[in-house]
Copies of this chain bind each other. A is one copy, B any other.
Amino acid sequence: MAFVVFWASNLMLTLFSVLITASVSPAAAGSGIPEVKAYLNGVDAPGIFSLKTLFVKLFLKSRCLYEPSSNCWNVMIIGSISAVSSSLIVGKAGPMVHTGACVASLLGQGRSKKYGWTWSWLQFLKNDRDRRDLIACGSAAGIAAAFRAPVGGLLFALEEMASWWRSALLWRAFFTTAIVLMILGALIEFCESGKCGPFGKGGLIMYNVTSTDISYHLWDVPPVLLLGVLGGLFGSLYNFLLDKVLRVYNVINRKCSGYKILLACSISIFTSCLLFGLPWLASCLPCPADAEEPCPTIGQSGSYKQFQCPPGHYNDLASLIFNTNDDAIRNLFSKGTNDEFQYSSILIFFGICFFLGIFSYGIVAPTGLFVPVIVTGASYGRFIGMLVGSHSTLNRGLFAVLGAASFLGGTMRTTVSACVILLELTNNLLLLPLMMLVLLVSKTVADAFDSNIYDLIMKAKGFPFLEAHAKPFMRQLTVGDVVKGPLQLFHGIEKVGNVVHVLRTTIHNGFPVIDEPPVSGSPVLYGLILRAHLIELLKKKAFLSSPEPTGIDVSEQFSVVDFAKKGSGNANKIQDIVVTEEEENMFLDLHPFTNASPYTVVETMSLAKALILFRQVGLRHLLVIPKIKRRSPVVGILTRHDFMPEDMISLHPAWTRSRWKRWRLTSPRWLNPF
């Protein structure tokens, strides 16, 4: 009976979550961190930051705020529709980061056409750089809120999310997370008086393990090093498996909605069965005499679940499983629970978290990775702690903390931010030296195998993420090697019909503008014009009747706002522009609207060097000019895609045929110093 209720409610919640995600906003699926990271790198994935996405995230994410799980489902399902997907091993941090980014993006747009509001004082954020900063701050706020860790959130945004750092960003993110923290503090104070029902517990520190008497000695280092190595191995294995599973899921999810739902349902059913079935394997333990909570706890949350056990006994595995993730982490981190768990239960729990975490992430629902990773790490850390036992001066709870650190280092490969987030979660600065050691070791070990989990997900999703550093083979190539033809260019005074034709038949976003002999002495590169600006010109019909420049200043028809970067989804489309046949024979004077001094590189520059310029300055288009005078003053135009190794191989398929070259294209940097 209990199983049926458990199973059915889990299924329904999952189904609801998947349905609403799949139908309203598929972009809200997954953790959202890879999408935000890609956006901050300059990739505009369609629909990442639409209001729809925000809606789904907010809606479903609130389920995460309360960290749903089986033991409080009865409260959840009645009290809050937001408790959607329960018992899946998924986290809340990712969706909260995505939510923060969505809110920031909406604020940055300053208006929503669809919902009819405009804040003109936000107009000054209408450029790429400030909007990126705003979204980085939003993601910092997300982590800060999820873990009540303002400094950790800020560092996570800087270390993992942002591609361009600057002092202003640091200061803005600091401001943001300070505000987040103050609001959190006010809410905590408000809830402490008992006005929030069962959800108001907990202070600023989520898993407090403070103890003033922590001491450790040299002989504590080997087990800690072991934890680091294990974290690196498990972390890279986790990333590898998650990547494979995601690729399979992607194939399934792409087919049709039915498959998505079927997949999610089967994961939910499988999870329910496992979670309900496995505790039967654990043997019953007698309640400790000095337990602070009632033991066994029935009908309320607590760390001693009776499950199938006789009175006065508890099932330790059930206590871990049928609890909120937060409570499970707190129990694992606590030193008060030294003898509470058996080896077998901890091992089974580790297995559950590890594999269910991998299989649950890919379903079409907002799912995070942070909490599953922390739980998994804490469980094997605890296991090592139990093995070491009294040989170490560290208690088992601290081993669990270090385990969580090692797994964070192994999967996400963040160092400073993982360190600070864990410190802010546990309020134990004295653990800092060991935590840094563990993170160093686990990151180093894991980096030998594969890369950061978010980078793998981004790759699987096909985002053209620009790395900060050129791959070694790029030093052997010149810019001229990768420039693709044919080049579409405009003249300073161009026929309207020509412009419309080119815009309709290509998807380029930037076009070189050149002046040729009638206008200038010799062919000369005048500049670069953007598609969005051309469309604006066509929309306002700022046409000339003859190809001679007139004295009239066309640019007076326009205001700065017309050329501001539109919010995602609000851009004008060429398909919406109607041009009559008569107008097609008129002319456009592009000179006033062209960027007259675009960044340029000569065609003989090494690709690696061009990449540095492209990446550091944050360009979207880079013009290539000839080394020696030619008929055309411009050779081509480079975009982000031209720097992707995959695109280069597709351009020069011969490279893959040579085994040596392929190796140079794909081998990691340390193998390949030349």
A residues adjacent to B (C-beta < 8 A): 150-151, 154-155, 159, 165-168, 170-171, 174-175, 177-178, 181-182, 185-186, 189, 203-205, 210, 212, 217-218, 415-416, 419-420, 423-424, 427, 429-430, 432-433, 436-437, 439-440, 443, 468-469, 520-522, 524, 596-597, 599-602, 604-606, 609, 612-613, 616-618, 627-629
Contacts and interface: CB of A to CB of B under 8 A. Distances in A.
Nearest to A163: B167
Nearest to A430: B204
A171 B177 CA distance: 23
Given A175-B440, A437-B182, A205 B416 contact: no
Given A520-B628, A602-B597, A628-B520, A429 B424 contact: yes
Contacts of A600: 600, 602
A438 to B, nearest CB: 10
B416 A170 contact: yes
A415 B521 contact: no
A432 B210 contact: no
Nearest to A436: B178
A437 B159 contact: no
Given A166-B468, A524-B628, A604 B596 contact: yes
Given A178-B439, A203-B430, A599-B601, 8 more contacts: A189-B217, A204-B429, A204-B432, A205-B429, A520-B628, A524-B629, A616-B616, A617-B617
Chain A contact surface mostly: helix
29 contacts: A151-B432, A165-B165, A168-B468, A174-B415, A174-B436, A177-B436, A178-B440, A181-B433, A182-B436, A185-B433, A189-B218, A204-B429, A204-B430, A420-B420, A423-B429, A424-B429, A424-B432, A429-B429, A521-B628, A524-B627, A524-B628, A597-B605, A597-B606, A599-B613, A600-B600, A600-B602, A613-B617, A616-B617, A616-B618
Contacts of A178: 433, 436-437, 439-440
Nearest to A427: B429
A137 B166 CA distance: 18
A167 B181 CA distance: 26
Contacts of A524: 627-629
Contacts of A440: 174-175, 178
Nearest to A203: B430
Contacts of A205: 429-430
A324 B612 CA distance: 50
A166 B165 CA distance: 8
Nearest to A171: B415
Contacts of A185: 433
Contact of A212 (B155, B165, B210): B210
B617 A436 contact: no
B416 A151 contact: yes
A307 to B, nearest CB: 34
A484 B212 CA distance: 64
A597 B609 contact: yes
Nearest to A604: B597
Given A210-B212, A628-B524, A420 B151 contact: yes
A429 B629 CA distance: 64
Nearest to A174: B415
A474 to B, nearest CB: 13
Contact of A433 (B154, B167, B182, B597): B182
Contacts of A606: 597
A170 B159 contact: yes
Contacts of A423: 151, 429
Contact of A629 (B218, B521, B604): B521
Closest 3 CB pairs of A and B: A597-B605, A178-B436, A165-B165
Contacts of A171: 415, 443
A150 B423 CA distance: 13
A275 to B, nearest CB: 34
Contacts of A159: 167, 170
Contacts of A432: 150-151, 181, 204, 424
A225 to B, nearest CB: 12
Contacts of A151: 416, 419-420, 423, 432
Contact of A612 (B189, B203, B617): B617
Contacts of A618: 616
Nearest to A435: B178
Contacts of A599: 601, 613
A364 B436 CA distance: 38
A170 B604 contact: no
A501 B613 CA distance: 34
A180 to B, nearest CB: 10
Contacts of A436: 150, 174, 177-178, 181-182
Contacts of A218: 186, 189
Contacts of A629: 521-522, 524
A151 B174 CA distance: 16
A186 B443 CA distance: 23
Contacts of A170: 159, 415-416
Contact of A167 (B177, B468, B602, B628): B468
Contacts of A433: 150, 178, 181-182, 185, 204
Contacts of A210: 210, 212
A559 to B, nearest CB: 15
A609 to B, nearest CB: 6
Contacts of A609: 597
Residue with the highest number of chain B CB atoms closer than 10 Å, among A174, A429, A430: A429
A121 to B, nearest CB: 13
Nearest to A183: B433
Contacts of A166: 468
Nearest to A415: B174
Contacts of A168: 468-469
